[in-house]
Amino acid sequence: MSTDKRNIWVGAFVLVAVGLFLSRGADRIAETAPPRGPGLGHQVSLETAAAWDISIPPDGHNLPPGSGTVAAGEKLYLARCINCHGKRGRGLSAEELVGGVDGLTGDYPEKTVGSYWPYATTLFDYIRRAMPQDAPLSLTSDEIYALCAYLLFLNGVVAEADVMNAATLSAVEMPNREGFVRINEMAR
Ligand code: HEC
């Protein structure tokens, strides 16, 4: 047998041996740890599906019970938000949360919660699912209402004594509420 042929045989043997070794290892893993996956194909109960639905539409009808004051929101803001969003919602690395009103038509429009967002209820939805960015979904409903109250107060949209809950937050009129073109108006 030539050296080349022998090398091919030795190579093939090594490949098969390694293959057998790996597949035995895989069998062992499969025996000890059940495969983890997204669990597709399993029916979920209506209650489970309802618990996943945390979306808050503009009219706020899915808002949970609870309430929060501006003072409580300020305390939370100082503890959980200020490191990224800055003092009173401005001036650090993350989005400006306050100000920019009157600036949307200028050369450098500043889109903040106060200047741009059409619905206050979106604030609850957004903070609940995404903030603080380093610990999303960690805030209670009372805490989120308080943070909404504080940010809306800083934006001059609610008064310092106002309390936010499902009813009051849904009733807030944002300054840019009429600043969007509705789809049915676009068709005209
Ligand atoms: C670790 C940094 C960090 C922390 C802490 C943090 N945020 Fe944010 N936040 C961000 C970043 C970054 C964005 C922009 C995300 C994007 O545009 O995708 C953002 C966006 C937002 C927005 C949307 C602003 C807009 O106009 O789009 C809101 C509201 C907000 N944060 C509220 C909060 C509140 C309330 C807290 C405290 C509970 C908080 N954030 C804590 C980093 C942070």
Pick the more confident residue, 21 or 72: 72
Pocket lining for ligand 1, CB < 6 angstroms: 80-81, 83-85, 94-95, 97, 112-113, 123, 126-127, 131-134, 147
Contact call for residues 139 and 68 (beta carbons, < 8 A): no
For range 96-122, the mean pLDDT: 88
CB 155 within 8 A of CB 98: yes
7 has pLDDT over 90: no
- Give the pLDDT band of residue 1 (cuts 50, 70, 90): low
Among 83, 60, 84, residue whose Cα is nearest residue 148: 60
Please check the confidence at residue 67 and state whether its pLDDT lies above 90.
yes
| Closest CA to ligand 1's atom 6 | 132
- Checking if the pLDDT of 13 tops 60, the result is yes
pLDDT band at 85 (very low <50, low <70, confident <90, very high): very high
Which residue's CA is the closest to the ligand 1 atom numbered 33? 131
> Cα separation of 28 and 137, whole Å?
37
Per-residue model confidence (pLDDT) at position 137: 93
- pLDDT per position as a tens digit, 167-187: 999 999 999 999 888 777 766
Q: Which residues contact 1 (CB under 8 A, 6 or more apart)?
A: 9
Q: Count CB neighbours of 153 within 10 A.
A: 21
CA-nearest residue, atom 16 of ligand 1: 95
Most confident among 27-36, 67-76, 100-109 (mean pLDDT): 67-76
pLDDT above 90 covers what percent of the chain? 57
pLDDT at 60: 97
Higher-confidence residue: 67 or 50?
A: 67
Query: According to the model, what pLDDT value does residue 75 have?
Result: 98
Question: What CA–CA distance (Å, rounded) separates 163 from 150?
Answer: 10
pLDDT higher than 70, residue 21: no
Longest dimension (CA), the chain: 94
Given this model, what pLDDT does residue 41 score? 82
**Distance between first and last Cα of the chain:** 84
User: Given this model, what pLDDT does residue 165 score?
Assistant: 98
Taking the centre of ligand 1 as the mean of its atom positions, its distance from the CA of residue 161, in whole angstroms, is 24
| Residue 125 confidence (pLDDT) above 80 | yes
Structure tokens at 31: 């025996």
pLDDT tens, residue by residue, 113-122: 999 999 999 9
Rounded distance, CA 104 to CA 106, Å?
A: 6
Residues comprising the chain, all counted: 188
